[in-house]
Amino acid sequence: KQEVTQIPAALSVPEGENLVLNCSFTDSAIYNLQWFRQDPGKGLTSLLLIQSSQREQTSGRLNASLDKSSGRSTLYIAASQPGDSATYLCAVRPGGATNKLIFGTGTLLAVQP
Partner 1 sequence: EAGVAQSPRYKIIEKRQSVAFWCNPISGHATLYWYQQILGQGPKLLIQFQNNGVVDDSQLPKDRFSAERLKGVDSTLKIQPAKLEDSAVYLCASSLGLAQPQHFGDGTRLSIL
List of residues contacting partner 1 (CB under 8 A): 4, 34, 41-46, 49, 89, 91, 97-106
Angle at 103 between CA 98 and CA 104, to 5 degrees: 155
CB closer to partner 1, 53 vs 99:
99
CB of 112 to partner 1, least distance (A): 22
Edge-to-edge strands of the sheet including 62-67? 4-7, 19-25, 72-77, 62-67, 56-59
CB closer to partner 1, 47 vs 77:
47
CB of 113 to partner 1, least distance (A): 26
